Structure 1
Amino acid sequence: MRVTIHQPHFMPWLGYLHRMAQADLFIVLDHVQFERGNYQNRTMIRMNGEPRWLTVPVVHGSQKERIVEKQIDQTLADTPRWWSMAHYQTIRQAYREARYLGEYAPALRRVFETRWTRLVDLNAALLEFLRASFGIRTQLVRSSELVAEGAKSELVLNLCKAVGADALLVGLGGSREYLDKAAFEAAGVRLDYQQFVHPDYRQCGAAPFSKGLSSLDLLLNCGPRSRELLLGQSLEEAAHVAA
């Protein structure tokens, strides 16, 4: 079984979903420390031809606070300035010309209408929306539900052992540098490396193409073709190997 591991992100970018789709099991790494200024509570959409940040307000607790413990700031709840519906309306405005906004808006609205208290639960609901919309069937499990100790490479290996994985799909980030390759080899866990090429597609507006946006951008612009555009190269490679 091939597993991949990553912290939960707020409406993540395409590389995140691509990696998930290439694995049998995705471990949501939610029991580690929350990182301020990261993508755990923010993402980028495209508005008026330019990238724009959307950020979920969170309560700033201890610097050692874990992701699973991070609370959403409720200060403006029940007011017109409540972040959740404000974000939803911003998305509707930004993608008002997108071909498939009407198809996905109702499900998206249901997520944003819900009164979430924990960031991890909001991110899980949005990830499930994206996973279903892109037709990704990879199973998910939260690391907080598993028994695995350690830090960095040791923690990753122990998570692999906890779920019985014999292969780990490594992403494009810094984990490629800190993983103890010898320890994984000794444990019988093969290291595979993600090969991801960002797809080009037609976006709203006439501005130059914007990469690195939330996966929502591709979905609202391309609808049913989103899975093919996300995984096209990977599907071609799989067909070639099978032949």
Structure 2
Amino acid sequence: MKLAIMQPYFLPYIGYFQLIAAVDDFIVYDNIKYTKKGWINRNRMLVNGQDSVFSLPIKKASDSLDVRARCLADDFSPDKLLAQFKGAYSRAPFFLDTFSLLESILLNDERNLFDYIFASIVQICKHLGIKTKIHISSAIDIDHQLKGQEKVLELCKAMGAATYINTSGGMALYSPDDFGNRGVDLKFIKSTSLEYPQLGLPFIPWLSIIDVLMFNSPDKVREYIFTHYELI
């Protein structure tokens, strides 16, 4: 069985979904600290030919709290965020279908940050035809006080994983020998070059998956998801 584990990210770039599609089971961390400068609750869209950050506003709380203990701000307006996407992408060729997906994601009544983002990940995977089983980390019976590589290895053991796949950005974090000694083959996924028309403007790569969906047919996006990467 092939396993991957990642933090929750809101409407992340295509590489996140390539990682999910490359494995049999995917674990989303809910019992990790929320980081203000990270990408858990924000990403980038295309606005007038430039990349622009969009985000989910978070209710003020202690920085020591896990993601699962954080909530969306009371003044969060899904309609305002939808209007941003509409203004940015109304002329995109696949706007109608993608905007319908966005409405179903953003109009979720859930206000817990993790649950809101987790639901969006599951919904996008369904939309893309990704059949991978998706799990929540805290529901898996391990010692959750473990950190870093040791926690990953324990999750691999609990799930019965023969292969663990991580993004190529994590190559410095994990030891192939340590994984091999536990009977786990360590692999890294790297997205290959991807470019598509963006309203006739100079291409800006690695925006939110929503950008890919706005400018490409569902079949083309699935092709990108399932084939436009390499394992190293």
CA RMSD of aligned residues (A): 1.7
The alpha carbon displacement at 1:64 in A equals 1.8
For residues 5-27 of structure 1, what are the alpha-carbon distances to aligned partners after superposition, in whole Å with 9 as ceiling and x for unaligned? 10000001011111111111111
- Rate the CA distance shift 1:73–1:202 in 2: closer, same or farther, 3 A: same
Q: TM-score, normalised by structure 2?
A: 0.92
Structure 1 range deviating more: 6-15 or 84-93: 84-93
Residue aligning to 2:10: 10
Determine helix, strand or coil for the equivalent of 1:168: strand
CA distance in structure 2 between the aligned counterparts of 1:60 and 1:197, rounded to whole angstroms: 38
- Tell me, yes or no, if the aligned pair for 1:167 and 1:191 is still in contact at 8 Å: yes
Say whether the 8 Å CA contact 1:15–1:198 is kept in structure 2: no
Deviations along 1:129-160, whole A, 9 cap, x unmatched? 32122221111001011122300010111111
Q: How much does 1:107 deviate?
A: 3.1
CA contact (8 A) 1:202 1:221 kept: yes
- Which runs of no fewer than 5 residues in structure 2 stay unpaired? none
Question: 1:109 is matched with which residue?
Answer: 103
2:110–2:116 contact (8 Å) kept in structure 1:
yes
Partner of 2:194: 199
What is the 5 A alignment of 1:1-243? 1-74=1-74, 76=75, 82-149=76-143, 150-173=146-169, 175-204=170-199, 206-224=200-218, 225-234=220-229
Unaligned runs of 5+ in 1: 77-81, 239-243
| Distance (whole Å) between structure 1 residues aligned to residue 122 and residue 79 of structure 2 | 19
Q: CA deviation at 1:121?
A: 1.5
1:45 aligned counterpart, secondary structure: strand
8 Å Cα contact 2:194-2:228 kept in structure 1: no
Equivalent position SS for 1:160: helix
TM-score, scaled relative to structure 1: 0.88
Aligned length: 228
Q: CA deviation at 1:183?
A: 2.6
The CA deviation at 1:122 is: 1.4
CA contact (8 A) 1:57 1:83 kept: no
CA contact (8 A) 1:50 1:207 kept: no
**Matched residues in 2 for 1:122 and 1:68: separation?**
10
After superposition, the C-alpha distances for 1:76-107 in whole angstroms (9 at most, x for unaligned) are: 2xxxxx43211111111111011111123223
Maintained 8 Å contact 2:50/2:204? yes
Letter in 2 for 1:181: P
How far, CA to CA, are the matches of 2:202 and 2:139 in structure 1? Answer: 43
4+ residue runs over 6 A deviation:
none
For 2:225, the aligned partner's letter is L
